[in-house]
């Protein structure tokens, strides 16, 4: 593996022009309709929570977590409202919205750098808990090892978690997403 030099890495707030790299990457890796420009531009209202990593001036990937509420977490992740309210009592909530790397930069530690930076930012902004829905296909959650190393714990497995997103055509299902999802939770420390 090629040696990664710290001086070649830039982690910064996402910008509108990043969408031109994000859209084809998401279309290829997740499926069409996963994100649109209007939604992406709304994420930019949270510059500390929607970040990009560049390596040697090349776009590598991004992570976006967004402020949330117990009601929104339950709606998006099919969780029990009383449980989420009890878990998050007195804590500001963030919800993991999206994370992806360009294929050639996988397994080089960049995704972990992005997640660590975004949660460091979230902690500084006073967020105390995060919920993360993760895609499961072929019996595996590709992000599982990374999420658990970061401190997330599995709290639920849900069927067809993204099925109601009617504009999203899943790369695995070739239609509305019937893939299961696994929901993770982490206290931000």
Query: Mean pLDDT in the chain?
Result: 95
Q: Is the pLDDT of residue 67 over 90?
A: yes
Q: Tell me, what DSSP letter sits at residue 152?
A: -
Distance CA 95, CA 132 (A): 6
> Which pLDDT does position 4 carry in this prediction?
83
**CATH fit for domain 6-187, picks 3.90.280.10, 3.30.70.100, 3.40.630.30, 3.30.300.30:** 3.40.630.30
What is the per-residue pLDDT across 34-45, written as a single tens digit (0 to 9) for each? 999 999 999 999
Please spell the DSSP secondary structure of 109-135, one letter per residue. Answer: SHHHHHHHHHHHHHHHTTEEEEEEEEE
What number of other Cβ atoms are within 10 A of residue 155's Cβ? Answer: 17
Which residue in the block uniquely carries the two structure tokens 């999420």? 147
> Which pLDDT does position 2 carry in this prediction?
66
Distance CA 6, CA 16 (A): 25
Q: Is the pLDDT of residue 24 over 90?
A: yes
Q: pTM score, two decimals?
A: 0.92
Distance CA 185, CA 93 (A): 10
Contact between residue 136 and residue 172 where contact means Cβ atoms under 8 Å apart: no
């Amino acid at each position: 593996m090629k040696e990664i030099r710290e001086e070649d890495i830039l982690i910064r707030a996402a910008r509108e022009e990043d969408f031109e790299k994000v859209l084809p990457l998401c279309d290829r890796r997740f499926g069409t309709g996963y994100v649109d420009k209007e939604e992406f531009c709304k994420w930019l209202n949270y510059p500390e929570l929607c970040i990009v990593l560049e390596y040697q001036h090349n776009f590598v990937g991004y992570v976006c977590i967004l402020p949330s509420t117990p009601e929104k977490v339950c709606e998006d992740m099919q969780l029990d409202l009383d449980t989420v309210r009890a878990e998050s009592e007195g804590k500001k909530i963030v919800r993991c919205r999206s994370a992806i790397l360009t294929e050639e930069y996988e397994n080089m530690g960049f995704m972990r750098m992005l997640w660590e930076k975004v949660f460091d930012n979230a902690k500084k902004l006073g967020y105390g808990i995060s919920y993360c829905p993760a895609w499961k296909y072929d019996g595996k959650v590709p992000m599982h090892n990374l999420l658990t190393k970061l401190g997330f714990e599995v709290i639920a497995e849900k069927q067809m978690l993204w099925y109601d997103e009617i504009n999203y055509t899943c790369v695995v299902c070739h239609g509305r997403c019937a893939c299961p999802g696994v929901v993770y939770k982490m206290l931000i420390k």
